[in-house]
Amino acid sequence: MHHTPTSVRDQRLQLHYAAGLLASTAHSLLAHASDDSHSALNLRADGSAFATQSLNASGLTLGLQLDTLQLRWRDDAMAPPSQSLDAHSAAAPQTFALPGATVADAYRWLNASRPANTPQINARTFPDFPAHALADGATFDRAHADVRIALGHTYAMAGQIFSGLHVSPGDASDWSESPIRLWPHHFDLGLLITLERPDHQIGVGLSPGDSSYDQPYFYVSPYPQPPAGALLPDWQRDGHWHSEGFCALVLTEQEWTRATGHPRVGAERFVRAAVARVVSN
């Protein structure tokens, strides 16, 4: 099925706003980490759902199913029966369909169904959060589920690539990696590599698209960032240096699909080579 750029962008933004509901829930119920990781989300391995990190001792999470846009409270399967969600929550449905509902409707449900004796769940605001009609009271739309599914598959592909970066070529035998998380502010899936060299890090991630590129793209970004106008290391492979607003080696979806017949091959080749290039610089 053919989709216009506008419909793809709309579904991406709907998912971004839905992920914000999960992030706000985590921000309201969890102790705040200095790096904001308490509100970062987990991605189901097949890319079909997002979920908060555990919100209580029983492993309670709030999840979002991408195809149906359904929110769901869920206990960890290994939690003891005595710590089940039903024993701790209000008498309200434990699932909520976002299509046809507003963001305000979703918060009303979250607060009616949240576990007993927990703080109220309030909307968290992020600077430069993308504009969408949902912010002005529009309702979520169930159309174009295939677009959301495809984006989930792209996130899943990125997660698989990132999980193997410890075998990347280069001289980074002594590095540490943060967990792979979905960050609700910019809606990117990524991790941070900390090198043995003091204060040197590499941000590796997948953005689903933003004001810089209206399509998914991989990025590999050095920290500290090079000064504006600095001569960047030579790059003769697929992808390119991006230097407007942020500095990173970037590979767009159009570039990785054009480079090879199998999307993951081109994307993984880029990520590994870009990490090795930034490490060696």
pLDDT at 119: 95
pLDDT less than 50: residues of the chain: 77-88, 167-169, 171-172
Is residue 102 within 8 A of residue 138, CB to CB? The reply is: yes
Closest by Cα among 248, 210, 244 to 228: 244
- The two tokens of residue 254 are 């159009």
Determine the pLDDT at residue 86: 43
pLDDT of residue 77: 42
Angle (CA) 36 182 80, round 5°: 85
Amino acid at 38: H
Q: For strands 240-242 and 61-65, give the pairing.
A: unpaired
The pLDDT tens digits for 192-220 are: 998 876 678 999 999 999 999 999 999 99
User: pLDDT, tens digit, for every residue of 15-33?
Assistant: 999 999 999 999 999 999 9
Angle at 163 between CA 160 and CA 169, to 5 degrees: 110
Neighbours of 32 (CB within 10 A): 11
Give Cα separations from 237 to 212, 224, 240, 253 (angstroms). Answer: 21, 23, 8, 15
Q: CA–CA separation, 148 vs 161, rounded Å?
A: 20
